[in-house]
Amino acid sequence: MTRVRYIADTLAEAISAARRAHGMEVPVLQAGPRRGVGLRARPAFEVVVDASGSSVRARRAAREALARAVVAARLAHAEAEAVVRSQLGPATSAAVARLGARLRAQALAPELVQWVIARVEDRLDGARAEEAAALMHAAAVQAVGELLPVDVPVDPAPVGSLGRPWVVALAGPTGVGKTTTLAKLAASWRVDRRLRVGIVAADAFRVGAVEQLRTYGSIIDAPVQAAHGPASAAEALARLADCDVVLVDTPGRGHRDALRIGEVAETVRAVRADESLLVLPGSASAGMLSESADAFRAVAPTRVVLSKLDESEGLGALVSAVRRSDRPAAWFTTGQGVPDDLERADARTFAERLVGPPPSVTPMTATDASMEAGRRG
Ligand SMILES: Nc1nc2c(ncn2[C@@H]2O[C@H](COP(=O)(O)OP(=O)(O)OP(=O)(O)O)[C@@H](O)[C@H]2O)c(=O)[nH]1
Ligand SMILES: [Mg+2]
Q: Nearest ligand, CA of residue 340?
A: 1
> Is the CB of 267 inside a 6 Å radius of any atom of ligand 1?
no
> Contact 213/201 with Cβ under 8 angstroms?
yes
271 C-alpha to center of ligand 2: Å? 18
Q: Helix 90-105 to helix 110-124 angle, to the nearest 10 degrees? A: 150
Ligand 2 center–CA 251 separation, angstroms:
6
Asked whether 343 lines ligand 1 (CB < 6 A), one says no
- Kindly state if the Cβ of 179 falls inside 6 Å of ligand 1: yes
Q: Which helix (H) or strand (E) holds 166?
A: strand 166-171
Residue 376 identity: R
Nearest atom of ligand 1 to the alpha carbon of 249: 20
Q: How far apart are CA 238 and CA 229, in angstroms?
A: 14
Q: Is the CB of 336 under 6 A from ligand 1?
A: yes
Cα separation, 61 vs 55, in Å, equals 10
CB contact at 8 A, 302 and 275: yes
CA of 238 to the centre of ligand 2 (A): 22
Question: What is the Å distance from ligand 1's center to 344 Cα?
Answer: 18
pLDDT of 334 strictly over 90: yes
* Lowest pLDDT segment from 207-211, 215-219, 237-241, 262-266: 207-211
Mutate to test the pocket of ligand 1, among 178, 180, 199 (most ligand atoms within 8 A of CB): 180
Cβ neighbours for 108, distance < 8 A, ≥ 6 positions apart? 116, 144, 314, 315, 316, 319, 320, 354
**327 pocket-lining for ligand 1 (C-beta < 6 Å):** no
Residue 151's closest CA among 316, 327, 307?
A: 327
Q: Which ligand is nearest to the CA of 201?
A: 2
Burial of 357 (0-12, 13-18, 19+ CB in 10 A): exposed
With a 6 Å cutoff on the Cβ, whether 302 touches ligand 1 is no
**CA 174 to ligand 1: nearest atom:** 25
Sheet with strand 28-33: strands edge to edge: 3-8, 45-50, 28-33
The residue to mutate among 199, 253, 310, 336, having the most atoms of ligand 1 within 8 angstroms of its beta carbon, is 336
Which domains does the chain show, CATH number per domain? 3-62 (no CATH), 86-149+367-376 (no CATH), 166-345 (3.40.50.300)
pLDDT tens digits for 275-320? 999 999 999 999 999 999 999 999 999 999 999 999 998 999 999 9
pTM (predicted TM-score): 0.75
Average pLDDT in the 361-375 region? 49
Which range (80-84, 163-167, 184-188, 206-210) has the least confidence? 80-84
Residue 179 C-alpha to ligand 1 middle, in angstroms?
7
- More confident: 360 or 144: 144
The minimum-distance atom of ligand 1 relative to the CA of 341 is 31
Residue 60 has pLDDT above 80, yes or no: no
**Sign of CA pseudo-dihedral 68, 74, 77, 82:** negative
- Per residue in 126-175, pLDDT tens? 888 788 889 999 999 999 999 999 999 888 888 765 678 999 999 999 99
Cβ contacts of 162 within 8 Å, gap of 6 or more: none
- Point out the ligand nearest to the CA of residue 253: 1
Helices of type H across the chain: 11-22, 52-85, 90-105, 110-124, 132-147, 178-187, 209-220, 230-238, 258-270, 286-295, 316-325, 347-355, 366-376
Amino acid at 46: E
Residue nearest to atom 27 of ligand 1 (CA): 336
How sure is the predictor about 377, in pLDDT bands with cuts at 50, 70 and 90? very low
